[in-house]
């Protein structure tokens, strides 16, 4: 039996999910991802009395998500921001154009998101670790570069908010909210392979 204790390493995949079946959205693959981070925004309150701290209340507000890649996937940008793509010509002399940083793309609809990383359990068996973010509010895309001989990177920033629903839009089934869940899956598992109760 696989161990439930595992370590994650590197980053293998990031994608936008469709919000209704839990599958990846059409053109949802964030291609060429080389860096991602997930940072919780937390706070606390000290209940003081009798000249001491009697208790501490802690809470999570949201999590900041950042994903960076070395490719600019026009179709994925359309999936996130809804800006249309225009094209002309025929292969290999075809042209593509898309506006970005428009006022209509500053507050787009929230979407669920998936980040995957290779992993191994504590016995050394190869596994896959998925982070499923239920309700991501995307901010404007940003660029690093272009710089001389240093490439051009594109970054997507999102705030993963508390949600009463999962990535399929279904209730979490209790009187609570969550930002995400982790899944410890078999080696080389594809997101579409997961059992229905996971």
16-56 pLDDT, tens digit each: 999 999 899 999 999 989 889 999 999 999 999 999 999 99
Q: What is the DSSP string of 48-72?
A: EETTEEEEEEEEEEEEEEEEEESS-
* 160 pLDDT higher than 90: yes
SS3 at position 114:
strand
The two structure tokens encoding residue 186: 């078999």
SS3 at position 158:
strand
The two structure tokens encoding residue 59: 């809470």
C-alpha–C-alpha distance, residues 10 and 107, integer Å: 31
C-alpha–C-alpha distance, residues 120 and 6, integer Å: 5
Return the CATH number of the domain spanning residue range 6-42+59-87+94-192.
Answer: 2.30.110
Radius of gyration of the chain (CA): 20
* 150 pLDDT higher than 90: no
User: What's the pLDDT score for residue 146?
Assistant: 84
Q: Given pLDDT bands bounded at 50, 70 and 90, which one contains residue 9?
A: confident
DSSP label at residue 110: P
Q: Note if the pTM is more than 0.95.
A: no
* 177 pLDDT higher than 80: yes
Closest Cα to residue 167, out of 23, 70, 1, 13? 23
Q: Which whole-number Å values give the CA distances from 90 to 60, 75, 87, 140, in the listed order?
A: 51, 18, 9, 31
């Amino acid at each position: 039996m696989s161990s439930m204790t595992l370590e994650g390493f590197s980053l293998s995949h990031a994608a936008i999910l469709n919000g209704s079946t839990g599958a990846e959205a059409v053109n949802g693959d964030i291609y060429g991802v080389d860096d991602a981070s997930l940072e919780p925004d937390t706070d606390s309150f000290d209940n003081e009395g009798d000249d001491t701290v009697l208790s501490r209340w802690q809470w999570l507000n949201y999590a900041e998500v950042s994903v960076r890649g070395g490719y600019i996937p026009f179709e994925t940008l359309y999936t996130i921001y809804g800006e249309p793509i225009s094209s002309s010509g025929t292969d290999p002399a075809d042209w593509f154009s898309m506006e970005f940083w428009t006022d209509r793309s500053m507050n787009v609809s929230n979407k669920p998101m998936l980040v995957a990383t290779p992993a191994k359990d504590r016995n050394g068996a190869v596994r896959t670790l998925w982070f499923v973010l239920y309700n991501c509010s995307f901010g404007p895309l940003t660029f690093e570069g272009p710089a001389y001989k240093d490439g051009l990177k594109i970054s997507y920033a999102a705030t993963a908010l508390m949600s009463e629903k999962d990535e399929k839009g279904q209730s979490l089934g209790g009187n609570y909210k969550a930002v995400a869940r982790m899944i410890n899956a078999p080696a080389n598992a594809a997101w579409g392979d997961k059992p229905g109760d996971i």
